Structure 1
């Protein structure tokens, strides 16, 4: 994922947490904050140590980044997103992570309707 697509600074995280809205399902919590000055979205990832060891946490983050890369054209591009993984995400494969993220992003009303279906 390109550098300009990432949220790394603590101040940026805190701004999204304080002023953004949250949406959740069993596996993920997504915070979104509208930004008028942007022409592409940014994402920040948070995977707690409670979820598993470093290998497990990095795998989850890789899956989330890849899912966002595949959703790139369908996601509202003027938002910042923070994705927090919950414990059930540790036991999911990529397709399950992708469909769960698609579900929570549709709840947040940031995904455009697509013609293809992402179900297994």
Structure 2
């Protein structure tokens, strides 16, 4: 008779079994180490245990764009303590993407730019 990897109790006849990486768990034992909720979707390995997606984000927050609030997965622009996607870090007049080498920021609140040919 097989036993749960987490609690080492046997599985009652006809009960549901969650299987991952060759190991068997009661559904309630295959749970997030932080919130203790059963893992039913995306999860992350953590110290020989698992974190649900929500708890993983709380422990290891990813940078979010200050303009669109989406997670930044590519190059990040940091300005005045905030992070931005390159495409979101725009000049207000006109809507041009700021280029680090060619433009000089002259107003932190509105992201105005000044270039030699402006």
Q: Give TM-score scaled by structure 2 length.
A: 0.19
Q: Which of structures 1 and 2 has the bigger CA Rg? A: 2
Would you tell me which structure has more strand in proportion to its own residues? 2
Higher relative contact order (CA 8 A, sep 6+): 1
Would you tell me which structure has more helix in proportion to its own residues? 1
